[in-house]
A and B are shown apart, each in its own frame.
Chain A
Amino acid sequence: MWRATIKSLLARKLRLALTAMAVVLGVGFMAGTLIITDTALHSFDGLFGDVYQGTDVVVQAKTAFMPDQGGPGGGGGQLGDPIPADVLAKVQAIPGVKAADGDVAGLAQITDPATGDAIQNGGAPTIGNSWDPGVTSLIVASGREPSGPTDVLIDAGTAADHHLSVGQSIQVVSTTGSGRFTISGIGRYANSDSLLGATLAIFDLHTAQELFDMGDQYSFIYVASDPGVTPVQLASRVQNALPDGFEAVTSASAAESQSADVNKGLGFLRTALLVFAFVSLFVGAFIIFNTFNIVVTQRTRELALLRALGAGRRQVMTSVLSESVLVGLTASLVGVLVGVGLAVVLRGLLGALGLKLPTGSLVIASRTFIVSLVVGTVITGVAALSPARRASRVSPIEALREGAAPPASLRRRVVGGSLVTAAGVAALLGGLFGGVSNGAALVGLGAMLTFIGVAMLSPLVTEPLGVLLGAPLRRAAPGRLGLENAKRNPRRTASTSSALMIGLGLVVFVSVFAASLRASVTSTLDAVLRADYTVSTTSFQPFSPQVSTDVGAVPGVEAASALRQAQVKIGASSTFVVGVDPASFPKVANVTMESGSFADLNTAGTIIVSHGAALTKHLAVGDTLTTTFPRSGAEHLRVVGVFEQNSLLNDYAISLPTYEANVSQQLDFAVFVTLAPEANPTSVRAGINAVLKRYPDVELSDQTQFKEKEIAQIDQILGLVGGLLALSVLISLFGIVNTLALSNYERIRELGLLRAVGMSRGQIRRMIRSEAVVIALIGAILGLIVGVAFGWAMQRALADQGVSRLSVPFGQLLIMLVIAALLGVVAAIWPARKAAKIDVLQAISYE
């Protein structure tokens, strides 16, 4: 039987290649995703190891938790209380300490002297630091270390990207303002030129303390040990010398926790990539399933002959299954290789988006290898299971019978499909509205089941949909024949379109959700925003609070109100709290209170919460809300108001004094400006712009521009997700190619007959194209329906959290339909060519 299996594999090279293609693509994308995330994480680990080279122990303020998302008070700056100056001397006196430097860290924005623009790579931080001569891991590549109030050392990556060299004068913006500095030197780490796209500006200690408003205090103390003293021993010695509120940790554990933070920050990306890989594999499974189904159907006579010759059912089933496992294993191997190539492409893509991974070698873990092989092989085997079962039921008599057996009834499929769809929808709605803990997983499972269920039911609609879509095709014979071909085997057409439905459905879902989000943001901002102008950076990075003071002083400005934002923990979940000035904020925004009073925020230790937060956390005025800040720990804040959903304040807001008391770093992310009624907008605008010259990192936007900026942020993230999902649509393209090629193979006599009775090659091609377009459009329509339904469910689920409007982008959906039809045309190119080229005589000759 093994020999029969292998022979039958080799005898059908084309079909084999087509089946394998589906597996290769699915596995390739999964392997590529695993490789790229492993490579990213590995390089982060390496980098933090690099950064702490030369340091054995780190002294830092104790924090209640480590924020894992950027933003002021989050990444790249001071999290806890500064370390008093006298601690350094105490640490230096400890036996076993070879060297100890006080370090100052903050945000420093470098300006490109050529363009005058702030240098900012995607969301990467702009790091400012002091030069720590005793412990630094930076290597001065050219020039010298910074010394004196006008020196700055920058990283080699930034220098190379922006053609900066030693001796050049650049503008640097810090928390306290901006100033000009001369590049004294260019530095790099042992194994890399920069910190993953972050910019580095290094000053001498005194200058850094001044720039970051630290007085004579430090952010960190970095300690190097004498030979023979282990970091752990030294850390415990140092710990004993520290005042309360500070801790000494080994540099290894500091690097590990920072690396873990980045890991968490990358979680979104990794999840997105893995979800996408899974979608690819899911779509691929449909194609594999379909291909095996067709191939087994085509081999019915061969299998029946085997049965007639005495092969048992089990043997036939084993033969088909082992064939699939062989194909799955081989194709998965090739898929891993394809994955390596894809990882290189993905790395380039991420680089273009601002996340610069070091261009070292790719990390191909044995886990990647094993998971890819196992998943690829198992999916292929499972996909072949039902065709194999069907094959084993072939009766020997069918070997002798001419023509295909009549199609089985769809009844069982309808019952099964309805049950699966119902279960999927239930899981989906349960995940979205049920308020269960692992909602996302439930939603994912629900979406998958819904897709499978709809795919099972879709043979029911191929006939009517085909008739409807094919109406324009009916006019000419090739179109009519193509349409009939699409309709003649509803299951085959349905499962081919289903592959497209999944990819397109997800793309539609994302675009409906994005459109709803945009519409909601615009309408809430319209309702909330009273300010004439907004000052912020392009990507909402934090900036100096000096800006709001300076802008407020411009004649004609009635109010300039700043917002700050810090990551906190409420209960177990991490969220953001907004710092706001209760006096000026009502002049720049409308806040509608459901209960309590906005002005009560002026009392120390108070908080106001949104309608949605009040609902989910069961909060009312007078309640106490325990909020954990990284620096100050758990604070018991009194709820003094509940406000209607407000996109500027998010879910929780506190006054600026409360913010200052609990958050170490004071940076704004937006300043809203209202003009005095009698002011001349043109001259005030000119005045503000004159002030902002000193702060190249921020820009002035009017209301429309501000809305566009907010929308641009949504578009960037959802565009990436949509783009990745669109790739899975490409995979389904191969499914159409597969189905067409295999169908043509079994209809070769018909093709010959058509050619014999006078159908031209062009008409044959047109016929196949029509079939492909009908298949693609059926998939597209189903995808649109499912996608819009998903989008609607998502919007309803998030209605309380600000996504108040449903917006269906009909124009975009129409374009997607057109693209789907074009994809059909593209998929048909090769099969149509092959069909048109058949040898008529061979095709019609009888065996």
Chain B
Amino acid sequence: MTSEAVARAVGLSKVYGTGGALVTALDAITVSFGAGEFTAIMGPSGSGKSTLLHCLAGLDSPSAGQAFIGDVDITLLPDKQLTQLRRDKVGFIFQAFNLIPTLTAAENITLPLDIAGRAVDPARFDEVVDAVGIRDRLRHRPSELSGGQQQRVAGARALLSRPEIVFADEPTGNLDSKASAELLGFLRAAVKERGQSIVMVTHDAGAASYADRIVFLADGRAVDEMRDPTAERVLDRLKSLEA
């Protein structure tokens, strides 16, 4: 069922600091993420999950190795192309502060397209908005939305332009269980029904169980993986990793 990879890390390393204070966040990691798959990255704190996500998304530059989006080695791209890549081929959902406070929900959803100066496809917009269920909040500013609604708006923004891949960094980290379930269900549906590729960093076994595949990281390396996870299996595996 694994199709071709939509994003890959090949021998990717990231080292912070110098001399005695050297911290290795990623240690020559090689891992790939399949198209049309919902992949979760898990691991203990400091295992390099977020660093991997940032390097793959072109937000951070690795110390060595390569990172691919599709066939493009993004470690070679200058800032201008990286910015364009983030705008056109990548969607983002962060843990918090996903939205521009001066813009309405609708404006936040179309922001990347507006930045690119491209027209919004109204049918696609309706589809995404209905999928996340925020039609009645479109004219509201972020401060008038609940945390769950804000994250769903962020999700709609990430999906609107049909990016090659969506990166989600602890998207449910600030949400209660009901709001988490809604957001994750919506992400899962995007993968299942429209073949969207999603990579999500999480430390929550429940959240990870929505994924098709989980990659486990420890000390900057991919140490294990699991397909079609359930929350119990994930918790067991985490315990064994931390032991």
- CB < 8 Å: which of B97, B102, B116, B157 contacts A485? B102
Is there an interface contact between A484 and B59, defined as CB atoms closer than 8 Å? no
Residues of B within 8 A of A480 (CB): 114
Is there an interface contact between B102 and A477, defined as CB atoms closer than 8 Å? no
- Given A757-B112, A758-B88: A481 in contact with B102 (beta carbons within 8 A): yes
Residues of B within 8 A of A846 (CB): 95-97
Question: Which residue of chain B lies nearest to A755 when distances are taken between CB atoms in the complex?
Answer: B83
Is there an interface contact between B157 and A840, defined as CB atoms closer than 8 Å? no
Is there an interface contact between A760 and B59, defined as CB atoms closer than 8 Å? no
A42 interfacial contact with B, CB 8 Å: no
Is there an interface contact between B86 and A756, defined as CB atoms closer than 8 Å? yes
B162 interfacial contact with A, CB 8 Å: no
Per-position binary interface string of chain B over residues 100-141, scored 1 when its CB falls under 8 Å from any chain A CB and 0 otherwise = 111100000001101111000000000000000000000000
Question: Which residue of chain B lies nearest to A754 when distances are taken between CB atoms in the complex?
Answer: B100
- Given A488-B102, A846-B95: A757 in contact with B54 (beta carbons within 8 A): no
A749 interfacial contact with B, CB 8 Å: yes
Is there an interface contact between A841 and B60, defined as CB atoms closer than 8 Å? yes
Measured in the bound complex, the distance between the Cα atoms of B112 and A844 in whole Å is 17
Is there an interface contact between A758 and B112, defined as CB atoms closer than 8 Å? yes
- CB < 8 Å: which of A753, A754, A758 contacts B94? A753
Is there an interface contact between A757 and B86, defined as CB atoms closer than 8 Å? yes
Residues of A within 8 A of B112 (CB): 757-758
Residues of B within 8 A of A182 (CB): none
Residues of A within 8 A of B146 (CB): none
A759 interfacial contact with B, CB 8 Å: yes
Per-position binary interface string of chain A over residues 742-782, scored 1 when its CB falls under 8 Å from any chain B CB and 0 otherwise = 00000001100111111111010000000000000000000
Per-position binary interface string of chain A over residues 401-422, scored 1 when its CB falls under 8 Å from any chain B CB and 0 otherwise = 0010000000000000000000
A450-496 with Cβ < 8 A to chain B: 476-478, 480-481, 484-485, 487-488
Question: Which residue of chain A lies nearest to B84 when distances are taken between CB atoms in the complex?
Answer: A758
Question: Which residue of chain B lies nearest to A482 when distances are taken between CB atoms in the complex?
Answer: B102
Is there an interface contact between B115 and A761, defined as CB atoms closer than 8 Å? no
Residues of B within 8 A of A749 (CB): 97
Looking at A480, A753, A756, A759, which has the most chain B CB atoms within 10 Å of its CB? A756
B177 interfacial contact with A, CB 8 Å: no
Question: Which residue of chain A lies nearest to B161 when distances are taken between CB atoms in the complex?
Answer: A758
- Given A484-B103, A488-B101, A488-B102: A477 in contact with B94 (beta carbons within 8 A): no
Please tell me the size bucket of the interface on A. Answer: 20 to 34
Measured in the bound complex, the distance between the Cα atoms of B94 and A840 in whole Å is 13
Residues of B within 8 A of A750 (CB): 97, 100-101
- CB < 8 Å: which of A484, A758, A844 contacts B86? A758
Is there an interface contact between A757 and B102, defined as CB atoms closer than 8 Å? no
Measured in the bound complex, the distance between the Cα atoms of B100 and A485 in whole Å is 10
Looking at B80, B84, B96, B101, which has the most chain A CB atoms within 10 Å of its CB? B101
Is there an interface contact between A477 and B114, defined as CB atoms closer than 8 Å? yes
Residues of B within 8 A of A760 (CB): 80, 83-84, 115
Is there an interface contact between A477 and B115, defined as CB atoms closer than 8 Å? yes
Measured in the bound complex, the distance between the Cα atoms of B143 and A50 in whole Å is 76
Residues of A within 8 A of B86 (CB): 756-758
Residues of A within 8 A of B30 (CB): none
For chain B, the count of residues having a C-beta within 8 Å of the partner chain is 31
Is there an interface contact between A758 and B100, defined as CB atoms closer than 8 Å? no
Is there an interface contact between A758 and B102, defined as CB atoms closer than 8 Å? no
A831-847 with Cβ < 8 A to chain B: 840-841, 844, 846
B87 interfacial contact with A, CB 8 Å: yes
Is there an interface contact between B54 and A481, defined as CB atoms closer than 8 Å? no
- Given A750-B101, A758-B84: A840 in contact with B117 (beta carbons within 8 A): no
Measured in the bound complex, the distance between the Cα atoms of B80 and A760 in whole Å is 7
Measured in the bound complex, the distance between the Cα atoms of B99 and A749 in whole Å is 10
Is there an interface contact between A756 and B102, defined as CB atoms closer than 8 Å? no
B68 interfacial contact with A, CB 8 Å: no
Measured in the bound complex, the distance between the Cα atoms of B116 and A606 in whole Å is 84
- Distance in angstroms from A473 CB to nearest chain B CB is 13
Measured in the bound complex, the distance between the Cα atoms of B99 and A760 in whole Å is 17
Residues of B within 8 A of A840 (CB): 59
Measured in the bound complex, the distance between the Cα atoms of B79 and A500 in whole Å is 37
- CB < 8 Å: which of B80, B87, B97, B101 contacts A757? B87
Question: Which residue of chain B lies nearest to A844 when distances are taken between CB atoms in the complex?
Answer: B94
Question: Which residue of chain B lies nearest to A845 when distances are taken between CB atoms in the complex?
Answer: B50
Is there an interface contact between B54 and A841, defined as CB atoms closer than 8 Å? yes
- CB < 8 Å: which of B54, B111, B143 contacts A477? B111
Question: Which residue of chain A lies nearest to B87 when distances are taken between CB atoms in the complex?
Answer: A758
- Distance in angstroms from B207 CB to nearest chain A CB is 17
B56-105 with Cβ < 8 A to chain A: 57, 59-60, 79-80, 83-84, 86-88, 90, 92, 94-103
Residues of A within 8 A of B59 (CB): 756, 840-841, 844
Measured in the bound complex, the distance between the Cα atoms of B115 and A481 in whole Å is 10
Question: Which residue of chain A lies nearest to B94 when distances are taken between CB atoms in the complex?
Answer: A844
Measured in the bound complex, the distance between the Cα atoms of B107 and A754 in whole Å is 13
Measured in the bound complex, the distance between the Cα atoms of B154 and A757 in whole Å is 11
- Given A403-B143, A476-B117, A477-B115: A756 in contact with B103 (beta carbons within 8 A): no
- Distance in angstroms from A760 CB to nearest chain B CB is 5
Measured in the bound complex, the distance between the Cα atoms of B170 and A846 in whole Å is 12
Residues of A within 8 A of B84 (CB): 758, 760
Residues of A within 8 A of B92 (CB): 756-757
A783-827 with Cβ < 8 A to chain B: none
- Distance in angstroms from B87 CB to nearest chain A CB is 2
Measured in the bound complex, the distance between the Cα atoms of B117 and A763 in whole Å is 11
Is there an interface contact between B79 and A753, defined as CB atoms closer than 8 Å? no
Measured in the bound complex, the distance between the Cα atoms of B115 and A476 in whole Å is 7
Residues of A within 8 A of B100 (CB): 481, 750, 753-754
Question: Which residue of chain A lies nearest to B113 when distances are taken between CB atoms in the complex?
Answer: A477
Residues of A within 8 A of B87 (CB): 757-759
Measured in the bound complex, the distance between the Cα atoms of B103 and A757 in whole Å is 15
- Distance in angstroms from B69 CB to nearest chain A CB is 13
- CB < 8 Å: which of B97, B101, B103, B111 contacts A844? B97
Is there an interface contact between A759 and B115, defined as CB atoms closer than 8 Å? yes
Measured in the bound complex, the distance between the Cα atoms of B232 and A67 in whole Å is 104
- Distance in angstroms from B106 CB to nearest chain A CB is 13
- Distance in angstroms from A400 CB to nearest chain B CB is 15
- Distance in angstroms from B59 CB to nearest chain A CB is 5
- Distance in angstroms from B154 CB to nearest chain A CB is 10
Question: Which residue of chain B lies nearest to A480 when distances are taken between CB atoms in the complex?
Answer: B114
- Distance in angstroms from A196 CB to nearest chain B CB is 59
- Distance in angstroms from B100 CB to nearest chain A CB is 6
Residues of A within 8 A of B99 (CB): 753
Residues of A within 8 A of B96 (CB): 846
- Given A403-B143, A481-B102: A758 in contact with B97 (beta carbons within 8 A): no
Measured in the bound complex, the distance between the Cα atoms of B102 and A754 in whole Å is 13
- Given A481-B100, A488-B102: A757 in contact with B95 (beta carbons within 8 A): no
Measured in the bound complex, the distance between the Cα atoms of B96 and A844 in whole Å is 9
Residues of A within 8 A of B114 (CB): 476-477, 480
Residues of A within 8 A of B101 (CB): 488, 750
Residues of B within 8 A of A484 (CB): 102-103
- Distance in angstroms from A225 CB to nearest chain B CB is 83
Measured in the bound complex, the distance between the Cα atoms of B80 and A481 in whole Å is 20
Question: Which residue of chain A lies nearest to B54 when distances are taken between CB atoms in the complex?
Answer: A841
Measured in the bound complex, the distance between the Cα atoms of B87 and A403 in whole Å is 27
4 tightest CB-CB pairs across the interface, nearest first? A758-B87, A484-B102, A477-B114, A758-B86
**A-binding residues in B (CB < 8 A):** 54, 57, 59-60, 79-80, 83-84, 86-88, 90, 92, 94-103, 111-112, 114-117, 143, 157
25 A-B pairs (CB sep. < 8 Å) = A478-B115, A480-B114, A481-B103, A484-B102, A485-B102, A487-B102, A750-B97, A750-B101, A753-B94, A753-B98, A753-B99, A753-B100, A755-B83, A756-B86, A756-B92, A756-B94, A757-B86, A757-B112, A758-B88, A758-B90, A758-B112, A759-B83, A760-B80, A846-B95, A846-B96
Q: A756-B86, A758-B86, A760-B115 are in contact. List 17 more A-B contacts (CB 8 A).
A: A477-B114, A477-B117, A481-B100, A481-B102, A485-B102, A750-B100, A753-B97, A753-B99, A753-B100, A755-B83, A757-B87, A757-B157, A758-B112, A759-B83, A761-B79, A844-B97, A846-B95
